[in-house]
Structure 1
């Protein structure tokens, strides 16, 4: 029960009706919300469910008074309010209202299938056909391993033309400077190839905290990103962290890419970016995630590629996450949350630049960028092979493919 969107957890406590009535702008409504939900949680702990339902009616009244554009950022909150309302009605043995509230939650965008499937607060409705239909309708959005399983795999024989992936030489002057300035040889250490990969992963994770709520600086290369973050005591989003690790790998002479990991739902803005570095000793790409200081292994402790992790999620083979995986040293990562929920959602589509190089995504006049997206076969068949777009003075060429072998070709 009491499901809240992560970005809004800190915003929701309970306040008086008089203050709520003035909450018309986004900022005012946020201020109203900051006095709403923790006290509702306290009422929940006291099992004062009727009082909570009265308070939800108050919250909904203020939400409905907002302008349509102002409502949009709070749609997820509305869905969670409706879900919680269903739970409280069910706990009060009010089946009709519980069913109606759950239906409204789904209609408002509630998609947390994994939670709804096991939440004991909803047990009153488990045998109801209408509830079962609603639960099945959100499985496509919230059971992320199931969604991957339904994707029907790739098309290995697809022959769409793709440009050759390229990797900048470690002799590039910028990469040489990066290697020397930050003493990357010492950081990588004198161990085997895989240990050096992991040491560099740890280093990036320690240098800059993750901050997914901020845009990265305009100049997007490792040297400048590190300098700005230290000077301003700020963090980067996952793409910025992956950029630093990618350039550190290139500076050490390793072939590497940063890889955008994208969900099926194109309206879901919560995607992720990690790294793939090629191991000559293992003859494969390896998963490295600087945001979460994470790499993934099989049951024998052997490191896995992004492709292997995705395949194991689909067919149910074991996966292990390194025990030191964490977010900003505040939250330890578990394989259940990180792999089977978060990354399973974000492994539906994969995207990486054609050229892996220093300062790739800094926008300069006339810059031309190319990316390749790996799609499930059923999706790829509906997409053009190539699409060209323009953003200001920067042009983009986007290639679509369902040929995993071509996407993950050896460097």
Structure 2
């Protein structure tokens, strides 16, 4: 009888130990926004608790480093290994359980994929209308320049210094929030206003829209560029500006989301086409040292250029007409885009496609080209 009782006791202890091992850790929070420290990078309120997902997975490539979730009440972290799948629960307001997982995911070699997209067709002469840039004398752009006091922001230095001063100002005046919904009014004045009144951020497209209108209002030719991966369906792309410098007689790379521009080994500013070519051919690229995300995470050449932008420089798309309020939906409005894609791009046709949105009453026309010379044509003086 004593032996039997001892055996039962042992079984109970084993069961308790097994249960303890399987019990999922719990951290508490009173806010749906979570901070994450991934290796050396700290992202402030960049993770939203999503109880409806089971689990909500945070993927990281920070092998050998620690990832920590930080709430307003608690924190939990784990050192990342190749087989890491760390489950835990975030208990929101002591009532809502959000099962969450930290998982390792190796980073695809986007740079190698980009190297396979080096070929264009310089002989592609399929029709594309001429690019155009709204005059700085346009009343709306005059208002942008005056209301935002852009002359004092740009300064009295040379053209390049004015371009960079405006870049830094836009980066600092609004916060980037890639998960935010676009406001109804998509122009510089209204975008800045809504960010202030609602204490909110905007995505990279809206930040590039603000900067584009600032440049146009100062008489500087600019376009915003949607930089995309090879896949036609994707979760992430990035929008930056291409700005034409009359002094340098070339396009230059300007990114308001990351306060970033790119140089060669001589410190000379580079454009998107040059950065793409140098990535493919392994040439020197220098990222400006102050490049950052929301004044929180410094950017490195290895991540920003060789990983993130290597993914998104596969193909590019830009409006044909660079103008004020270019994407605010209005009845009867027509918007035309041009896409540059390499010869191994997935969707090469149709070369021209027209679409009509019945909800917004906006007509969109999309052109495709394999000829970078047409896409990067310099503005007419």
| Band the TM-score falls in, shorter-chain normalisation | 0.7 to 0.9
In the alignment, is residue 317 of structure 1 matched against residue 283 of structure 2? yes
Measure the CA separation in 2 of the matches of 1:270 and 1:399: 22
In the alignment, is residue 214 of structure 1 matched against residue 168 of structure 2? no
Match for residue 265 of structure 1?
A: 231
Aligned match of 1:363 in 318, 329, 348? 329
Match for residue 286 of structure 1?
A: 252
CA contact (8 A) 2:340 2:371 kept: yes
- Aligned pairs for 1:49-198 within 5 A: 81=103, 84=104, 112-113=106-107, 142-198=108-164
Aligned match of 1:398 in 354, 357, 366? 366
**RCO comparison, higher one (Cα < 8 Å, 6+):** 2
In the alignment, is residue 374 of structure 1 matched against residue 374 of structure 2? no
Mean Cα deviation higher: 144-153 or 171-180: 144-153
Q: Higher helix share goes to which structure?
A: 1
Measure the CA separation in 2 of the matches of 1:333 and 1:44: 23
CA contact (8 A) 1:242 1:275 kept: yes
**TM (normalized to structure 2)?**
0.75
Change (3 A) 1:294 1:28: closer
**For 1:41-89, what per-residue CA distance to the aligned partner results, in whole angstroms no more than 9, with x for missing partners?**
9796599x9xx88x77x99xxxxxxxxxxxxxx9xx99x75xx5xxxxx
Instruction: Give the Å deviation of 1:328.
Output: 0.5
Q: Unpaired runs of 5+ in structure 2? A: 1-22, 27-48, 58-66, 70-74, 90-98
Q: Higher strand share goes to which structure?
A: 2
CA contact (8 A) 2:332 2:363 kept: yes
Measure the CA separation in 2 of the matches of 1:403 and 1:338: 26
CA contact (8 A) 1:352 1:373 kept: yes
Aligned match of 1:235 in 201, 212, 218? 201
Q: Unpaired runs of 5+ in structure 1? A: 1-12, 17-25, 60-73, 85-109, 114-141
Instruction: Give the Å deviation of 1:380.
Output: 7.3
Measure the CA separation in 2 of the matches of 1:264 and 1:321: 24
Measure the CA separation in 2 of the matches of 1:46 and 1:225: 39
In the alignment, is residue 343 of structure 1 matched against residue 297 of structure 2? no
**TM (normalized to structure 1)?**
0.70
Aligned match of 2:350 in 378, 384, 387? 384
Match for residue 204 of structure 1?
A: 170
Change (3 A) 1:146 1:223: same
Change (3 A) 1:380 1:29: closer
Change (3 A) 1:272 1:43: closer
Match for residue 301 of structure 1?
A: 267
Measure the CA separation in 1 of the matches of 2:80 and 2:175: 38
Measure the CA separation in 2 of the matches of 1:235 and 1:287: 23
Mean Cα deviation higher: 146-155 or 233-242: 146-155
Q: Which runs of 4+ in 1 moved over 3 A?
A: 13-16, 26-34, 41-47
CA contact (8 A) 1:15 1:32 kept: no
Q: Which has the larger radius of gyration?
A: 2
Measure the CA separation in 2 of the matches of 1:366 and 1:31: 44
